Chains A and B, each alone.
Chain A
Amino acid sequence: MKVLLFGPELYFLGMALVLFILSLRRQVNIRIDHQVALGFAAGGVVVASACLFQQGELFFAAYRVDLFSQIFKVALALGLFLVLMISHNLAHIDDRYHAEFYLFLTTCTLGLMMLVSAVELLTIYVSLELSSYSLYILVPLRRGDDMDIEAGVKYLFIGAVSSCFMLFGLSYIFGATHSTYVNEVMAKMPELVQSPIGIMGLLLTLAGFFFKLSVFPFHFWAPDVYQGAANQVTTFIATVSKAAAVAVLLRLVALGEVYGFGFTQALWILSIVSMTLGNLVAIVQKDFKRMLAYSSIAHAGYVLMGILTLSEAGYTAAIYYAVAYLIMNFTCFMVISEVANDGRNLQIVELAGLYHRNPLLGLALMLGLFALAGVPPSIGFTGKLLVFTSAMKEGYFWLVLVGAVNGTISLYYYLKVVYAAYFLEGKELPAVHIGLSTRALSYALILIIIGFGVFPDRVVELARVAVKGVLL
């Protein structure tokens, strides 16, 4: 029953089909759309969890199922489920497009799932494009002003150029090694990094993932897309697709044991520039989503820091950080989509007085932001600690120093939001009412942010085991 290894992907393919049928109906019922999508997504979490400990290879060894990929599949399924949970009012998307919205989210998740398992260059490329194309459609799906169109075009163009880079790079690698299997390519890596063709090939290939991760200089889409897309779409881009990008980048980098000094130094520079640029520009933003876009550029720099150490501890830290980032970022976006329940873009000042308009959301927002800033004892602090420690162990003192300074800078703009929520009186602003599910979700997120920040060992251990599997 080898096909069971493909279980989660098949399940989401089926889910996409069901949603496709729903989207063909003439009579639109947005409640049913949402309930079906949410129910299937919940099932997806169960299926992905059930397949957690599967191992094997598929499709002529182009596709590898191991603990590493399965952990990320659970995370992706969970991410989709969470995003759908806050999609109960899609005020800025036309009613008749709701089913399509769910459909493309599902195909995107499917693409990301394949991405984390793919170990062949073309499979990787196709999976990446599957997820990207879904997002290209989702971003301009918003109704109203033309901002979404601008964002969509920008996203498409930058994505297309990045894909060009990547394909170009892949062609170089194929030309140099005569293979598209990652493990075969990486076996030849020592000679490869000596030759110009190999270096350019690798660099250009990484561009595709840097685009997903919004690492400098592929970050230009992030602010506009974050701001222009509907809140829920932004949430998905900011959380789920980021986690998958980290996973595949990790798998690629981890497979090659030797890169040489120059290559890590290039990553080093990109990491520093990413976090510094992201944090500095985030300071002056007034739109909350745009601010989070810049913050995501900065966080990409932190993740890169873990990856470029090329050590087991660094990879473990990067995985932990990616998962933690998913959770804490999601918390902030949940608050955005609940407070801006008509689907508008949320200015930071609109959070004024959140502590009395909805104390629970206020608390969740505060903890989420503290986690993003890395304040103990939150999950974000533990993540930063792990990343910095691993980098320090490998002797990247200056990198850690810049990271720490950046952490301080970021604290400023995160606290600005907390300040707005807790110290500005929002007397004239209406109270925010949330449903039972959001309430439960808030409690769960608060618990996770604090709980796994204080007792991170289980998650770290799981990440370590996964990394060990990849390194083999």
Chain B
Amino acid sequence: MSAWFSDLTLLGCFLCMVLPIASFGLIMIFTRNNHKLSLAISLLCSTIPLIIAWSLLYKYWDIAEPIVYNYDWILSDFIKIPFGFLLDPTSLLMLTIVATISWLVQIYSIGYMEGDPGFGNYYAFLSLFALSMLGVSISSGLLQLYICWELVGVSSYLLIGFWYEKFSASEAGKKAFVVTRFGDVGFFMGLAILTIFYGNLEIANINSAAVAQSMPPWLISTAALLIFCGVMGKSAQFPLHVWLPDAMEGPTPVSALLHSATMVAAGVFLIARIYPFFSASPEAMAVALAIGTITLLLSSTIGMVATDIKQVWAYSTVSQLGFMIMGLAAGSYFAGYFHLTTHAGFKALLFLCSGVFIHHFGTNDFFVMAAKGGRKLIIPMVTITIAALALSGIFPFSGFFSKEAILGALYHHPNKIWFLMGLLGAFLTAYYTFRVIFVMLFPKNPAPEEQHGHDEPHEEHYGVPWVMSIPLLVLATFTLILGFCQGYLERFLLGHTLHHEHNYLLLVSAVVAALSGIGLAWIDWGSKKAKCVGFISYVPALENFFKEKWYMDHFWRWFLNVFIYGTFSRLFTYNDRRVVDGGVDTVAFSTIGSGRLLSFFQTALLQLNLLFMVVVVAGVGLYLLIGR
């Protein structure tokens, strides 16, 4: 036990895991009806990991070798499954992001969730979420990561369906859980392949060159692709992206921070985590690149026509995740991970600002918000604009730098089509982002009649609670400065700074794409003469296609009905009823029947019993004598 306390790093990692689960347990079992106490416990148990994470980041800023603490859970001659902690730049950065974002969401939720009857539960779920995300960040083995990964799924299910009285919310929670599980089945099969054919699930070992020597390439590709299925589920990649927009049914802080910055980033993080293993398979990288690109374009086009502000940001998240995966798959570990970091900041900011508007106006439709005078909320309006600029990739905000990095990686890919797609994506992103901003900033038909039907607690009051605006300001600061940290982060993550050749073609094309997107948005929505219809409405068929979300929901519904319910479910039910149940019943009934039969031997006739005894003993004696 003393080793725990003499080694502060180990103690820190340990606390990061223990405190949130302790908080979850305490609140669920004892204090969930006492809102103040629950809040205090939860805050305490998220503040300490925050401090630990930042101090670990500070302490190991110049880390050269990864620090590993392993406890072998299963160990045999050919299988090794460790549990423990792995600290290296990848995990330290993620740890810090996760700890920070979960802390911010807890602070912000004080204001947002005030007075909710499930306040205690909410904080318990947040603690569970913090536990699982922290676990994903610093796991030393893939199985441990997988367990935490599933816990992420559970806690996100609980949080999305938090307002479970609302039918759509509980449906959305279910959908998110099932869809991500669908991908996780692949993930688990990938782990199984690794265990069977390689036998070591320690991350540091999987990332070494030993894997390539002991497994044939096709097997590595299979494993990598199966693991990528998990990534597709959790990071909402095409075609498993359908759960994320629905997940916005949860409380806004949850969608803001969990479903934009941390949870969905887990998938991208997983690729970064086992990046050497992943890049050992060119096939997996190619598939990832294609999936990322499709996702980027698909969701940006849907974002262009959505009217629910959270939906816009949800699709934007999906597309940016696709963008990160493109960066990773194009060969630049740093670009993808850097975009993850900056995106965590500005996307959280976008959501939190939207949360303020939603909280204030009681609607999700940004046209209505604009009409009701959304721009009068000064701090949220300024910060949302900053975040939007970052999302569109405008200098000097953080998004500019990371997008630039990804586009650079795509530019160096031999096939230039990916680069062009990336540019198209950047253009679309800028367009749909500023569609929202311009609508909000320059409302065309202000102050329509008050829509009654939903109560508005603070009608004339345009102030924002401080607990809600402080996180906004903090995140806005991050958005401003994070881009300039690129050099430092490169040194931290890669151990050296990249050589930047100043490619003006790249720079100019990126900036032009972003600016033309913004410009088009201005023409369509911003300027005085704007007609307030998107350019896409000139092609009604396409607009309809986008509005119907590329018919993906229809596709899945059809898929479910035909394949899952219609085929597998029916067959399995039949098998269960007839073969399993029938078999078990037969065995059971015949067992009971034989018991009934044998009990007839237990007659009350004493002489028969005695005769039986003699016969059996004689029989055994004969057997022994003959068999001698």
Q: Which residues of A contact B (CB under 8 A)?
A: 150, 153-154, 157-158, 161-162, 165, 194, 196, 199-200, 203-204, 207, 216-218, 220, 223-224, 260, 262-263, 265-266, 269-270, 277, 279-285, 409, 412
Contacts and interface: CB of A to CB of B under 8 A. Distances in A.
A220 B617 contact: no
B461 interface: no
Contact of A157 (B588, B596, B606): B606
16 contacts: A153-B606, A199-B621, A203-B620, A207-B617, A217-B616, A218-B613, A224-B604, A262-B623, A277-B598, A279-B595, A281-B598, A281-B599, A281-B602, A282-B595, A283-B592, A284-B599
A194 B592 contact: no
B205 interface: no
B624 A283 contact: no
A161 B610 contact: yes
B613 A262 contact: no
Interface residues of B, number: 25
Given A165-B617, A217-B616, A223-B602, A280 B594 contact: yes
A154 B617 contact: no
A224 B609 CA distance: 12
Contacts of A204: 617, 621
A459 to B, nearest CB: 30
Given A200-B621, A262-B624, A217 B595 contact: no
Contacts of B627: 262, 265
A324 B357 CA distance: 69
A218 B137 CA distance: 66
A204 B628 CA distance: 17
Given A203-B617, A281-B602, A217 B591 contact: no
B617 A283 contact: no
Nearest 6 interchain pairs by C-beta? A217-B616, A280-B595, A283-B595, A220-B609, A281-B599, A262-B627
B14 interface: no
B595 A203 contact: no
Contacts of A194: 628
Nearest to A408: B591
B625 interface: yes
Contact of A203 (B588, B598, B614, B624): B624
Contacts of B595: 279-284
Contacts of A224: 604
Question: Max chain A CB contacts within 10 Å: which of B588, B602, B610, B620?
Answer: B620
B395 interface: no
Interface in B574-612: 588, 591-592, 594-596, 598-599, 602, 604, 606, 609-610, 612
Nearest to A220: B609
Nearest to A204: B617
A284 B591 CA distance: 10
A220 B612 contact: yes
Interface of chain A: mostly helix, strand, loop or mixed = helix
B591 A199 contact: no
Interface in B557-587: none
Contacts of A281: 595, 598-599, 602
A269 B623 CA distance: 11
Given A199-B621, A281-B598, A285-B599, 15 more contacts: A158-B610, A194-B628, A196-B628, A200-B621, A203-B620, A216-B616, A262-B623, A266-B620, A269-B620, A270-B620, A281-B602, A283-B591, A284-B596, A284-B599, A412-B588
A409 B610 contact: no
A199 B625 contact: yes
B624 A266 contact: yes
B621 A203 contact: yes
Contacts of B625: 196, 199-200
A199 B624 contact: yes
Interface in B472-521: none
A154 B606 contact: yes
Nearest to B623: A266
A154 B613 CA distance: 13
A283 B599 CA distance: 10
A150 B602 CA distance: 14
Contact of B613 (A158, A223, A280, A284): A158
A199 B628 contact: yes
Contacts of A154: 606, 609
Nearest to B600: A281
A194 B625 CA distance: 9
Contacts of A223: 602
A280 B617 contact: no
A265 B623 CA distance: 10
Given A196-B625, A199-B628, A284-B592, A158 B598 contact: no
Interface string B369-410: 000000000000000000000000000000000000000000
A154 B602 CA distance: 12
B591 A409 contact: yes
A260 B625 CA distance: 12
A217 B617 contact: yes
Contacts of A153: 606
Contacts of B623: 262, 266
A283 B598 CA distance: 11
Contacts of B596: 284
A218 B610 CA distance: 9
Nearest to B602: A223
Given A280-B591, A283-B591, A284-B596, A220 B624 contact: no
A373 to B, nearest CB: 15
A285 B598 CA distance: 12
A293 B592 CA distance: 17
Given A220-B602, A223-B602, A284-B599, A157 B610 contact: yes
A195 B561 CA distance: 76
Contacts of A218: 613
Contacts of B614: 161
B628 to A, nearest CB: 6
A412 B592 CA distance: 10
Contacts of A282: 595
Interface string B111-151: 00000000000000000000000000000000000000000
B619 to A, nearest CB: 9
Contacts of A220: 602, 609, 612-613
B254 to A, nearest CB: 40
A153 B591 CA distance: 32
Contact of B609 (A150, A158, A284): A158
A207 B624 CA distance: 15
Nearest to A154: B606
A200 B626 CA distance: 12
Interface string B22-52: 0000000000000000000000000000000
A24 to B, nearest CB: 35
Contacts of B591: 280, 283, 409, 412
A65 to B, nearest CB: 33
A161 B592 contact: no
